Structure 1
Amino acid sequence: MGNNRVTKSKNTSEVGTGFKWFHATSVNGGAMVMAAVLASYLSVYMTDTLKLPAAICSLIMFIATLWDAINDPMMGVIADNTHTKVGRYRPYFLVAPVLLTFFATMVWIDWGFTSNTAKAIYILIMYIGYGMTVTMYTMPQMAILPAAVKKDSERNKIITIGAGSCAFAFTIGNTFTQNITDFFNKLGFANGYIPFMLICGALAFISFWGLYKASEGHERYLSEPEKHPLKGLGMVLKHKEVYPNIIAWIMASMGYGLMFSSSVYYMMYYYERPDLISTYMGVISIGALVSMVVAMPIVLKVFKSGQRALCFSQISTIAIYIILFFFGKTNFVFLCVLTFIASVTGAMQNALVNILVNDTIDFIMYKEGKSANGLVSSIKGFAQKCGNTVTTSGILAILAVSGYVAGAIGQQPDSAMFALNFIKFGAPSITGLIVVLCVVFGPIKKYKAQIEEMKAQQGEQEDAENKAC
């Protein structure tokens, strides 16, 4: 037998500490700081620095994120059918930081184009390149976890570590971006975003290449995938049981994205205090950090399952958002306190929905007897990108039709003020409610016993193979 097999007892970890931490800090390390900066500040950069009309910015985001969503299933099939000496998913971790650093840096370079068309085309090309790079590494990163670990408890622990890393990265990206870019500007850089992205890229090199090394020999629980892309998609999508999970992924992506992406506009134009943007973003980011690192493990322990924890997260957050929709402008301290609590309860949704990915992968393995790790991960990625598309382009589209005027602090029309408040607190309440309904009525959970039996048989088969080695 191969040398990659390692004899394990039932109580030992299936993967080493290096795998756990590099898995967490690959997608959720320097790459996540980049994602946070782009999510929260690129739209404002386009409208207020490059002076592009909001309608054009909305179209840029719509095209880029829609294509980003469409190519996810393609990447999933490619990843599942990759066969190299170093593994099925591992090769992508080598090239990921190279392309990521290039596109995430280039998108912030202003070449001095005078034409709005030229500005828009350049941003569109760079942002599409960035999105395709994220797709290229996200699918294999999600797919390799159920391929390496079969126990739900250990999977959840690794997801929790990743959630904490994600929250920490988002805290940096959302709270300190203005401070960091101002620091580089004072050092003489024309655009502080550029050196910031290069530093994040260096961190991405460390984590992705670390994951490549730590994941050696860990692609254990795999079978031959469906090689034809359409047949592969059909194999998964023919099961109606997976659709509630897909909808939950879309809605969770929207809810999480709105939490951050709308905040700069909200403070600048609805609250009319641009000087408080960093403070408010800090409240949200620190709340998200507490959510992932402290609250999520506690909630998982109390509610015993990711599904129940996700429902608690959404219901409690909805209640707070409704209060803030009507009374958020009453007092800044009141706004910050309730926003912090909502971030603590709500941010964990972004990690908890990944539990539904593992459930879906296990379900397809049970029903079809084939590995669909990359494909299911790509469907989740597609759903997430659809949510991102609605969030990023939707915010700008709503602002465009509401009469929003860039730079007009204190002079926005009532329609724009209502739109800003709805985007910040009304829309994520609706998405949260839909997530709860999908989880409560999701049918995959009724196969839990059969899936656990299947995984136990996989473990027994591996033990037998290890003894034979």
Structure 2
Amino acid sequence: MEEAKKTKKDRDDRVGLGGLLIWNSRGISTAIFVLVSSFLMIYCTDTLKIPAAMVSMILVVSKVLDGITDMFAGFIVDRTETKWGKARPYEIFIVGLWLCTWLMFSCPTGWSTTVKCVWIFIMYALANSICMTFLTANGTPYTIRAYKDKQIVKLTSYGSIITMLAAVIFNIIFPTLMAQIATSASGWSKLILMLAVPLTAIGLLRMIFVKEKYTVDTGKADGEKLKVKDIGVVLKTNKYILIIALMTFVFNFVTNMGVNVYYFTYIVGNVGLMGVLAAAQIIVLPLALIFPKLIAKFSTINLMIAGFLISAAGYLLNAIAGGNVGLLTIGGILTGAGTVPASMLIGLVLIECGDYNEWKGIHRMDGTMGSINGLASKVGAAIGTGALGILLSAVGYSGDAANMPSAAITMIRLLYGIIPMILYLLTALTLKGYKLNKMMPQIKADNEARRAAVAEKEK
């Protein structure tokens, strides 16, 4: 009998390859959107001829809007109740995400610089402040209502292979397609459309096939309805989400600077070799296969700390590599391997933050947890891209290899090596303050006991 129960439990914890593919379909779509967005700066500066500093201002101003929409998107998701569930309906925003992305990269060159800036701002804001905001806010609530604990670990760990493989394939193929197709404004529009159509279809798969099956306690013992003021309550009560948000900010600042294309254009001298570097990173994919065992032994947060230290070593190699493709490849492998835990396992620590909220007797606010982290992600990405433009403008970046000042070359080198190395070392140190990994056994036990008591009382 005991063996039969164990077999049934193991069967219930299974996900299957099909389940992994379907669940991570939207993750693939949004991951590639983030990668495509990192090329916005060079599209604006080299194709639309917009000054880098002006592009930076567009990104920074759009984040003011993001700061408003992010917090309230999570709150809206947390309050939602529909026949399709709490979070599932918001997957539809993937359509708007790719439509706005295509329009963003389809700006007519005949417009004035001011009109171009307005167009880029509107499309970038719609894509990020509205569409991506709701797609980020619904992630954790959707996950915990569609799968159980062990399934979630497997989905996050093994599913990261699928998402990362898609990103690697993109990084291999896109530079070549960019060199062949994106040689003009119309070429950019065509290239992005080639991506937008299939990635919209792929991104809708989990909304179509994955239902919300489980009811999750909100965490508020007295059943009080969620209010706007609860956003402030959770920020005051839960310092751990702020630590995670800081990590996410730095991670996205570094990975979205978009300095890679400048480095390979002006230091290596061959932008097509970015594909070679991306191909080499495939060897880190098997790491995700052992994540469940590593998480059980060391905890998710410790894997993230180790990852940032490994990435810092990779950026040190980048700093001394110059145009040596061999060293750059090793550096790229290390930076890629190190960022896997932070990029692929973030959902697990967000769930821990929700569990902590419940344990403290406040609303779980899983959507809001996702929004706080999403805000940090997008602000980090925008400031990273914006900082690149401002710093390059400050050192006289010309956009012309023949007339490129040495100060611009030095800045590109620093942004590709020393600066991200320092930021990642500081991030690893900050993550030492995250203590929930040690508290989770007690938190889970207490939460389960409280839920059982509530269920018994309602009988």
Q: Where does residue 141 of structure 2 map in the other structure?
A: 143
Would the aligned equivalents of 2:154 and 2:292 in 1 still touch at CA under 8 Å? no
1:449 to 441, 450, 456: 441
Would the aligned equivalents of 1:22 and 1:211 in 2 still touch at CA under 8 Å? no
Which blocks of at least 5 consecutive residues in structure 2 are unaligned? 1-6
2:303 to 285, 298, 309: 309
Q: Where does residue 128 of structure 1 map in the other structure?
A: 125
Worse-matched range after superposition: 233-242 or 361-370: 233-242
Would the aligned equivalents of 1:70 and 1:382 in 2 still touch at CA under 8 Å? no
| 2:207 counterpart letter in structure 1 | L
1:82 to 65, 80, 83: 80
The verdict on how the C-alpha distance between 1:195 and 1:47 changes in structure 2, with shifts beyond 3 A counting, is: closer
The verdict on how the C-alpha distance between 1:99 and 1:242 changes in structure 2, with shifts beyond 3 A counting, is: closer
Offset of residue 410 of structure 1: 4.8
2:414 to 422, 429, 436: 422
Q: Where does residue 211 of structure 2 map in the other structure?
A: 215
Q: Secondary structure at the match of 1:120?
A: helix
| 2:101 counterpart letter in structure 1 | A
| 1:240 counterpart letter in structure 2 | K
The verdict on how the C-alpha distance between 1:401 and 1:374 changes in structure 2, with shifts beyond 3 A counting, is: same
Could you give the per-residue CA deviations for residues 254-291 of structure 1, whole angstroms, max 9, x where no partner exists? 23334xx21001111233x0xx222224413651x443
2:405 to 386, 397, 413: 413
Offset of residue 43 of structure 1: 1.0
The verdict on how the C-alpha distance between 1:278 and 1:162 changes in structure 2, with shifts beyond 3 A counting, is: farther
| 1:21 counterpart letter in structure 2 | L
Offset of residue 380 of structure 1: 0.8
RMSD: 3.1
Matched, 1:280 2:274: yes
Structure 2 length-normalised TM: 0.87
The CA distance in 1 between the partners of 2:127 and 2:176, in whole Å, is 24
Offset of residue 137 of structure 1: 1.6
Pairs aligned (count): 445
Q: Where does residue 158 of structure 1 map in the other structure?
A: 155
Offset of residue 240 of structure 1: 3.0
Offset of residue 159 of structure 1: 1.2
Q: Secondary structure at the match of 1:29?
A: helix
The verdict on how the C-alpha distance between 1:183 and 1:142 changes in structure 2, with shifts beyond 3 A counting, is: farther
| 2:193 counterpart letter in structure 1 | M
Q: Where does residue 334 of structure 1 map in the other structure?
A: 327
Q: Where does residue 47 of structure 1 map in the other structure?
A: 45
Matched, 1:364 2:360: no
Offset of residue 14 of structure 1: 5.5
Q: Where does residue 56 of structure 1 map in the other structure?
A: 54
Q: Secondary structure at the match of 2:37?
A: helix
Matched, 1:116 2:108: no
Offset of residue 92 of structure 1: 1.1
Q: Secondary structure at the match of 2:256?
A: helix
| 2:327 counterpart letter in structure 1 | F
Q: Where does residue 94 of structure 2 map in the other structure?
A: 97
Structure 1 length-normalised TM: 0.85
Q: Where does residue 226 of structure 2 map in the other structure?
A: 227
Q: Secondary structure at the match of 1:112?
A: coil
Q: Where does residue 194 of structure 1 map in the other structure?
A: 190
The CA distance in 2 between the partners of 1:342 and 1:378, in whole Å, is 26
Offset of residue 56 of structure 1: 0.8
Q: Where does residue 24 of structure 2 map in the other structure?
A: 24
- Identify which of structures 1 and 2 has the higher relative contact order when contacts are C-alpha pairs closer than 8 Å and 6+ apart: 1
Could you give the per-residue CA deviations for residues 104-141 of structure 1, whole angstroms, max 9, x where no partner exists? 11111132334110111111111111112111222112
Q: Where does residue 103 of structure 2 map in the other structure?
A: 106
| 1:33 counterpart letter in structure 2 | I
The CA distance in 2 between the partners of 1:235 and 1:444, in whole Å, is 15
2:370 to 374, 377, 389: 377
The CA distance in 1 between the partners of 2:190 and 2:86, in whole Å, is 33
Matched, 1:345 2:342: no
The CA distance in 1 between the partners of 2:62 and 2:170, in whole Å, is 21
The CA distance in 1 between the partners of 2:405 and 2:280, in whole Å, is 32
Offset of residue 215 of structure 1: 1.9
Q: Secondary structure at the match of 2:24?
A: helix
| 1:22 counterpart letter in structure 2 | I
The CA distance in 1 between the partners of 2:50 and 2:230, in whole Å, is 42
Would the aligned equivalents of 1:171 and 1:282 in 2 still touch at CA under 8 Å? no
Q: Secondary structure at the match of 2:10?
A: coil
Would the aligned equivalents of 1:72 and 1:135 in 2 still touch at CA under 8 Å? yes
The verdict on how the C-alpha distance between 1:319 and 1:31 changes in structure 2, with shifts beyond 3 A counting, is: closer
Which blocks of at least 5 consecutive residues in structure 1 are unaligned? 1-7
The verdict on how the C-alpha distance between 1:213 and 1:134 changes in structure 2, with shifts beyond 3 A counting, is: same
Q: Where does residue 435 of structure 1 map in the other structure?
A: 427
The CA distance in 2 between the partners of 1:263 and 1:72, in whole Å, is 28
The CA distance in 1 between the partners of 2:23 and 2:194, in whole Å, is 21
| 2:210 counterpart letter in structure 1 | A
The verdict on how the C-alpha distance between 1:464 and 1:167 changes in structure 2, with shifts beyond 3 A counting, is: farther
The CA distance in 2 between the partners of 1:386 and 1:285, in whole Å, is 29
